[in-house]
């Protein structure tokens, strides 16, 4: 069937059947994101795109974090190719309009991106059939400001698409305050809800979410937190003291880091990927973000299984002479 254009040429009219209309109307909308700088990611995405476009509406393919996703229609799912770092970038790229993430692991460890490429076909079909669950995870805002900490803003108001405060950064894993070259010790003062908690000298401090607790926090001697807890863990880095230990505290609190001296020798690292050098007199504030990160989990894949598989956590030693 054809209809006439104003210039007299003919354009085909494609009339979808009722069944096709219902299928297209309910077709899942997805973002395809990832890290093109990681070997094999671009090739893997190209291999899977025909399969994905057959089963879903692909709204964008962005492997270099070039798109402002808030300018695009909302998606039902973000399929992220790469390692955990690619998921951390995707979470910040989605900003205050978070979309559930299914991670395809092309990295090394894969705590968040726990689907192997050879499992994608089966797992994606499970997602289309609704055979999955969503886990929701704490995100944070890190605010770097001069002088006093910023006045708290109501959570969830006017926060879509952009930070609510100049110098505010949204993140998922952790904030690290660390000495910068020439790597002299920092004098740190920690406050929780405006109440002084501790003062110490050292290389820095990690404020980690449960998702980030298996990263830098773990390496620095901090505890592993249950992934869906609403809590932060504060872990010092090489404190020059015998008494300071990691602290787990409610995510409803606000954490402020001041510098007894040497702020100009410090830097703030967001999720291990963004680095901001501090100036004298600046204060770092970390608080719960008004949005949460959502992870798509397929059946028979638990956090404790990932700990056992990736870190060999909770497994007995192999004794001499035993298989």
Active site residues: 84
Task: Give DSSP secondary structure letters for 92-131.
Answer: HHHTTS---EEEEE-SSS-SS--B-GGGHHHHHHHHHTT-
Question: CB neighbours of 153 closer than 8 A, spacing ≥ 6?
Answer: 164, 165
Based on its alpha-carbon atoms, the radius of gyration of the chain, rounded to whole angstroms, reads 23
Contact present, 189 and 199 (Cβ < 8 Å) = yes
Contact present, 185 and 201 (Cβ < 8 Å) = yes
Residue 240: Cβ within 10 Å count: 12
Give per-residue burial for 109-124: e unless 16+ CB within 10 Å, then b: bbbbbbbeeeebeebb
Residue 161: Cβ within 10 Å count: 13
> How far apart are the C-alpha atoms of 222 and 204, rounded to whole Å?
14
Closest C-alpha among 169, 52, 160, 138 to residue 102: 52
């Amino acid at each position: 069937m054809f209809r006439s254009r104003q210039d007299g040429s003919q354009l085909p009219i494609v009339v979808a059947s009722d069944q096709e209309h219902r299928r297209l109307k309910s077709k899942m909308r997805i973002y395809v994101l990832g890290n093109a700088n990681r070997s094999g990611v671009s090739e893997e995405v190209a291999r899977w795109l025909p399969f994905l476009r057959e089963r879903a509406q692909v709204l964008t393919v962005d492997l270099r974090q070039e798109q402002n996703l808030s300018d695009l229609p909302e998606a039902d799912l973000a399929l992220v190719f790469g390692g955990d770092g690619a998921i951390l970038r995707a979470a910040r790229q989605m900003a205050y309009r978070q979309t559930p993430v299914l991670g395809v692991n092309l990295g090394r460890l894969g705590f968040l991106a726990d689907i192997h490429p050879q499992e994608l076909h089966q797992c994606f079909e499970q997602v289309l059939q609704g055979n999955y669950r969503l886990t929701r995870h704490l995100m944070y805002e890190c605010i770097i400001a001069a002088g006093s900490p910023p006045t708290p803003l109501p959570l969830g108001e006017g926060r879509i698409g952009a930070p609510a405060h100049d110098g505010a950064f949204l993140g998922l894993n952790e904030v690290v305050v660390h000495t910068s070259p020439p790597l002299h010790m920092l004098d740190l003062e920690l406050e929780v809800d405006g109440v002084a908690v501790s003062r110490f000298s050292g290389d820095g401090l990690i404020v980690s979410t449960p998702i980030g607790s298996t990263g830098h926090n773990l390496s620095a001697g901090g505890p592993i937190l249950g992934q869906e807890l609403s809590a932060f863990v504060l872990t010092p880095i090489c404190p020059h003291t015998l008494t300071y230990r990691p602290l787990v505290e409610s995510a409803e609190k606000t954490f402020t880091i001041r510098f007894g001296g040497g702020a100009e020798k410090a830097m703030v690292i967001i999720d291990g990927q963004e680095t901001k050098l501090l100036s004298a007199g600046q204060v770092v504030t970390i608080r719960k973000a008004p949005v949460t990160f959502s992870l798509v989990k397929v059946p028979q894949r638990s956090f404790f299984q990932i700990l056992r598989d990736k870190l060999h956590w909770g497994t007995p030693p192999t004794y001499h002479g035993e298989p």
